[in-house]
């Protein structure tokens, strides 16, 4: 990997980011103890390590500035990267610690603030960053902002190219959702700030878009009609988040959890707002199961964003051959490819390839699916 001029990087890790996803909480803000009680496991540090180990190959050219302990220092040391500790957070850390760390980092005149978390972390970082470029390693439940790389590997590639001077920044929006409304099935985003982020097409997630038009609704109805025909085979159907899957349930007289994961069998709701553990228990009892998902917003993620309950463990039990993808033609046309990021690269690659996507009543198109981790090597 080519070296680059000595650079100064502020690094920040939200150690609890993403913990609410697999257990069905649709976010972690203010619910860390609830997530732990449901059996959630911290995973943000492991996501950060994937990125940092790639950066460690040029460690002599990098100076890191971070908070002590689990907010940065520990994971940097585990990747063989030293750092200057600029702030000592409370335990457990809070949003106030994120903001205080960023203030301390800013005093070091860093070239880039690299953080690992979700939209809440991005919002706190952006509130202090000003004109300093920021880049997110994706690890949260909600990642609607435009500062996130599509994978930890992509974050490393973006950081390297930017610090070498081979990449420009662009201005993007930092948004977050009202988590209380989100848990009730209503997606309401709010613009909090604008931020500069290293940008290269494909490597950076676009800000989530919400589609709404008459033609979109007509195609959702057609998809739902088709689904009502093939969902009579006695299988347990795991429906991911989104309005398209919600329409499938609605046509069968079932009110789906709009932003959660539900399971339908023989026209009956057998599991509502499921967690990963709930799905695993159910799969142990069912002879046949299938998963229906739709791409999330403009980012094109099928698994790993918004559907963390449908984990790698769940998909391995269901079987890749039983993954059904649905999307309206308009949304599909705007996506260059579909992405998966389950955290299990072997599984993601098994899902990858040209796959059929149901786009209407007995109508399907072919679309390329890629593992998010493979994007970096694919565009080189």
Rounded distance between C-alpha atoms, residue 251 and residue 274, angstroms: 20
Q: What is 303-339 written as a DSSP string?
A: ESSS-TTS-HHHHHHH-GGGEEEE--HHHHHT-S-EE
Q: Which structure tokens are listed for 265? A: 């069998």
DSSP state of 148: B
What CATH code is assigned to 7-198? 3.40.50
Residue 107: pLDDT band by 50, 70, 90 thresholds? very high
Whole-number pLDDT of residue 246: 93
Are 340 and 371 within 8 A, CB to CB? yes
Q: What are phi and psi of 295, to 5 degrees?
A: -60, 140
Task: Give the residue with greater pLDDT, 46 vs 211.
Answer: 46
Whole-number pLDDT of residue 4: 59
Whole-number pLDDT of residue 375: 82
Residue 83: pLDDT band by 50, 70, 90 thresholds? very high
- Where do the structural domains in the chain lie, given as residue ranges? 7-198, 214-379
For tokens 């097409």, name the residue.
201
Rounded distance between C-alpha atoms, residue 6 and residue 361, angstroms: 57
Q: Say if residue 81's pLDDT is above 90.
A: yes
Q: For residue 158, give Cα distances in angstroms to 13, 55, 167.
A: 18, 11, 8
Of the ranges 20-29, 34-43, 255-264, the best mean pLDDT one = 255-264
Helix (H) or strand (E) holding 54: helix 44-55
Rounded distance between C-alpha atoms, residue 212 and residue 227, angstroms: 21
Q: What is 64-131 written as a DSSP string?
A: EEEESGGGTHHHHHHTT---EEEE---SS--HHHHHHHHHHHHTTT-SEEEEEE-HHHHHHHHHHHTT
Q: Which structure tokens are listed for 104? A: 């301390």
Q: What are phi and psi of 366, to 5 degrees?
A: -100, 140
Task: Give the residue with greater pLDDT, 306 vs 112.
Answer: 112
Residue 142: pLDDT band by 50, 70, 90 thresholds? low
Convert 191-242 into a string of H (helix), E (strand) and C (coil).
EEEEEEEECCCCCECCCCCCCCCHHHHHHHHHHHHHHHHHCCCCCEEEECCC
Mean pLDDT over 192-207 rounds to: 82
Q: Which structure tokens are listed for 309? A: 């309950």
Whole-number pLDDT of residue 293: 97
Residue of 12, 22, 7, 64 lying closest to 260 (CA atoms)? 22
Q: Which structure tokens are listed for 41? A: 């496991």
Q: For the chain, what is the mean pLDDT?
A: 86
Residue 2: pLDDT band by 50, 70, 90 thresholds? very low
Mean pLDDT over 283-290 rounds to: 96
Whole-number pLDDT of residue 368: 95
Rounded distance between C-alpha atoms, residue 10 and residue 12, angstroms: 7
Whole-number pLDDT of residue 207: 56
Mean pLDDT over 245-253 rounds to: 95
- Over residues 26-80, the pLDDT tens digits come to 545 555 555 455 655 668 899 999 999 999 987 778 999 999 999 999 999 999 9
Q: CA torsion sign, 250 to 255 to 261 to 263? A: negative
Are 174 and 195 within 8 A, CB to CB? yes
């Amino acid at each position: 990997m080519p070296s680059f001029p000595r650079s100064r990087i502020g690094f920040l890790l939200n150690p609890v980011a993403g913990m609410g996803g697999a257990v069905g909480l649709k976010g972690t803000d203010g619910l860390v103890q609830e997530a732990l009680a449901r059996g959630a496991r911290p995973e943000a540090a492991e996501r950060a390590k994937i990125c940092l180990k790639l950066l460690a190959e040029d460690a002599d050219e990098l100076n890191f500035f971070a908070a002590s302990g689990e907010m940065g220092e520990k994971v940097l040391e585990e990747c063989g990267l030293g750092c200057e500790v600029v702030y000592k957070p409370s335990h457990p850390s809070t949003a106030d610690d994120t903001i205080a760390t960023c203030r301390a980092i800013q005093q070091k005149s860093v070239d880039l603030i690299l953080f690992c978390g979700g939209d809440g972390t991005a919002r706190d970082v952006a509130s202090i960053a000003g004109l300093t470029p920021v880049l997110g390693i994706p690890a949260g439940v909600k990642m609607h902002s435009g500062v996130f790389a599509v994978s930890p590997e992509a974050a490393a590639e973006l950081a390297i190219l930017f610090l070498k001077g081979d990449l420009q920044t662009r201005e993007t929006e930092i948004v977050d959702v009202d988590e209380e409304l989100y848990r009730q099935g209503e997606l309401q985003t709010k613009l909090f700030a604008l931020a500069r982020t290293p940008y290269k097409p494909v490597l950076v997630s676009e800000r989530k878009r919400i589609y709404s038009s008459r033609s979109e609704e007509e195609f959702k109805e057609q998809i739902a009609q088709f689904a009502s025909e093939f969902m009579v085979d006695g299988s347990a159907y795991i429906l991911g988040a989104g309005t398209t899957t919600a329409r499938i349930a609605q046509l069968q007289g079932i009110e789906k959890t709009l932003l959660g994961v539900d399971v339908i069998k023989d026209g009956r709701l057998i599991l509502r707002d499921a967690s990963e553990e709930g799905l695993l228990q159910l799969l142990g009892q069912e002879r046949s199961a299938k998963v229906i998902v739709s791409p999330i917003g403009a980012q094109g993620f099928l698994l790993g964003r918004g559907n963390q309950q449908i984990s790698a463990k769940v998909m391995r039990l269901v079987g890749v051959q039983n993954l059904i993808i649905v999307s309206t033609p308009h949304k599909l046309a705007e996506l260059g490819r579909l992405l998966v990021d389950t955290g299990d690269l072997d599984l993601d690659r098994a899902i990858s390839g040209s796959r059929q996507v149901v786009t209407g009543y007995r109508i399907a198109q072919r679309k390329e699916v890629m593992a998010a981790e493979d994007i970096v090597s694919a565009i080189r």
